[in-house]
């Protein structure tokens, strides 16, 4: 491994990664000079509109910590799109990763992964990020998940259960109906494994709940009944934005520690003229500019000097990578919420932006 790394450094100036990847991928579709590619090894229907994909990454994969998420890039109709998903399994000795994905109605990536991806397809993975990870020392835990927020929580739970528990652990898992519950079998078998583990499911739209299933939205009485020792629990929560906000209000003042992650909502689009913050990630500068004004002009008015040429969308000189945020093409009004190259002279901001400048 060390020797191959050294060899790679020596030959690097002679290698064009695009050419290397082209030929290497004739041998194996996940080989790459510098990108982490992963092959879908198998698919498993986990719940309604939800699949688990077992991925085999190439050697560029840097690993992850349970509870973190990965940027996953797939090509849909010729366009590479990136979304974050959490591995739903503990670190596996065979290097495989399990991603669990729920298709959401307008989600181009999630619908592609759930309904159209096949065994053998190749995805690109980014570095893992997120700070909802497990500390070394034992603690009493309360894990709260809603919907597909179960995925990082499942990874955390399985990692905790790799050793016999020393302190109590509880999972409260919200879903709409029983058909929407992921990992039902796994959760059942886990319940019997350790007397210190308690798992509660809460179904909000199920007509006929079973004896051990609860109902309703998050509320103080429910948490107090299930977790009388809330004050000593560390709480991790993952779910939709609104859910996380309400759980935060109920638990954060009482718990020993509170950390939460919500699915990133669509960029907040403001009305034209309202100020937005544009962050230039390479120069480490942030400026306030009016939304609705072509970015090139707006940045220049803030005293910055981005490269430009024709100022009419022809020459591509002012093009740069948009990392986050929503923009509008000022020529035709088309809105673009995806990361990707933008020409500053013919795009205006709809939301806060991060540009690779």
Partner 1 sequence: MTSSMTNVLNRSQKKANRPSDEQLAAFGAELDALRERTLSDLGERDARYIRRIVAAVRYTEVIGRGLLFFGLFPPAWIVGTLLLGISKILDNMELGHNVMHGQYDWMNDPHLNGKTFEWDLVGTGDHWRKTHNYSHHTYTNIKGMDEDIGYGVLRLFPEQRWRPFFLGQPIYAIIFALLFQWGVAIQDLRFGKFFNGKKSGKEMLEEMKPFLKKTRRQLVKDYVIFPLLAGPFFVPVILGNLVANGIRNLWTYTIIFCGHFTADVQLFPKSVLKNETRGHWYFRQIRGSSNLTGSKLLHVMSGNLSHQIEHHLFPDIPAHRYAELSVEVRAICQRYGVHYNRGSLVSQFSQVIWRILRYSLPSRYVPINASA
Binding site for partner 1 (CB under 8 A): 17-19, 21-23, 75, 77-81, 309-310, 312-317, 319-320, 331-332, 338-341, 343
State the nearest-atom distance from the C-beta of 22 to partner 1, in Å: 5
CB-nearer residue toward partner 1: 116 or 219: 116
Least distance between partner 1 and beta carbon 305 (Å): 16
Look at the chain and count its residues. Answer: 357
Closer Cβ to partner 1, 115 or 188, answer by number: 115
Query: What is the nearest approach in angstroms of partner 1 to the Cβ of residue 284?
Result: 20
* Residue whose CB is less far from partner 1, 35 or 178: 35
Q: Which residue has the tokens 């886990």?
A: 190
**287 touches 296 (CB < 8 A):** no
Q: Please state the closest distance from residue 126 (CB atom) to partner 1, in A.
A: 12
Q: How far is the CB of 357 from partner 1 (least distance, A)?
A: 11
**What are the E-state strand segments in 37-136?**
37-47, 50-57, 69-76, 79-85, 97-102, 122-129
Query: 160 vs 320, which CB is nearer to partner 1?
Result: 320
Query: Is the Cβ of residue 81 or residue 222 nearer to partner 1 in the bound state?
Result: 81
Q: How far is the CB of 107 from partner 1 (least distance, A)?
A: 17
Provide the terminal-to-terminal Cα distance of the chain, rounded to the nearest Å: 35
Report the nearest approach of partner 1 to the CB of residue 338 (Å): 7
CA torsion, ordered 284, 285, 289, 291, to nearest 10 deg? 0
3-state secondary structure of 70: strand
Gap between the Cα atoms of 187 and 200, Å rounded? 10
| Nearer to partner 1 among residue 72 and residue 171 (C-beta) | 72
Q: Which is nearer to partner 1, 138 or 314 (CB)?
A: 314
Minimum separation from the CB atom of position 352 to partner 1 (A): 20
263-270: which pairs have CB atoms within 8 A and are 24 or more residues apart? 263/148, 263/149, 263/239, 264/84, 265/241, 266/326, 266/337, 267/324, 267/325, 267/326, 267/337, 267/350, 267/351, 267/352, 268/351, 268/352, 269/326, 269/350, 269/351, 270/350, 270/351
- Whole-angstrom distance, CA of residue 68 vs CA of residue 133: 7
Q: Which is nearer to partner 1, 23 or 164 (CB)?
A: 23
CB 328 within 8 Å of CB 342? no
Task: Give SS3 for 284.
Answer: coil
144, two tokens? 């709260």
Determine contact, residues 80/21, Cβ cutoff 8 Å.
Answer: no
């Amino acid at each position: 491994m060390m020797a191959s790394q050294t060899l790679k450094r020596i030959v690097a100036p002679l290698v064009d990664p695009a050419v290397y990847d082209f030929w290497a991928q004739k041998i194996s579709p996940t080989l790459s000079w510098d990108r982490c590619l992963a092959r879908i090894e198998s698919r498993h229907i986990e719940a309604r509109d939800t699949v688990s994909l077992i991925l085999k990454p190439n050697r560029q994969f840097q690993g992850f910590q349970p509870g973190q998420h990965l940027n996953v890039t797939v090509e849909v109709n010729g366009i590479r799109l990136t979304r974050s998903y959490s591995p739903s399994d503990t670190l596996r000795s065979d290097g495989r990763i399990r991603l669990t994905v729920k298709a959401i109605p307008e989600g181009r990536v999630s619908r592609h992964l759930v309904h159209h991806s096949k065994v053998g397809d190749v995805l690109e993975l980014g570095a893992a990020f997120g700070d909802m990870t497990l500390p070394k020392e034992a603690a009493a835990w309360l894990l709260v998940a809603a919907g597909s927020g179960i995925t990082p929580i499942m990874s955390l739970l399985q990692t905790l259960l790799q050793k016999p528990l020393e302190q109590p652990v509880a999972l409260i898992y919200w879903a709409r109906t029983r058909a929407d519950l992921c990992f039902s079998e796994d959760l059942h078998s886990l319940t019997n494994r350790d007397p210190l583990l308690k798992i509660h499911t809460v179904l909000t739209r199920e007509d006929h709940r079973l004896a051990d299933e609860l109902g309703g939205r998050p509320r103080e009485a429910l948490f107090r009944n299930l977790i009388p020792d809330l004050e000593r629990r560390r709480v991790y929560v993952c779910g939709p934005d609104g859910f996380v906000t309400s759980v935060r209000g109920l638990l954060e003042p009482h718990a020993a520690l509170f950390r939460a992650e919500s699915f990133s909502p669509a960029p907040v689009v403001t009305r034209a003229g309202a100020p937005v913050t544009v962050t230039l990630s390479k120069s480490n500068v942030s400026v306030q500019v009016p939304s609705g004004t072509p970015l090139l002009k707006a940045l220049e008015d803030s005293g910055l000097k981005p490269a430009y040429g024709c100022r009419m969308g022809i020459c591509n000189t002012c093009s740069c990578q948009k990392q986050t945020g929503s923009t509008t093409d000022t020529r035709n009004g088309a809105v673009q919420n995806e990361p990707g190259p933008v020409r500053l002279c013919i795009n205006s901001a709809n939301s806060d932006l991060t540009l690779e400048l």
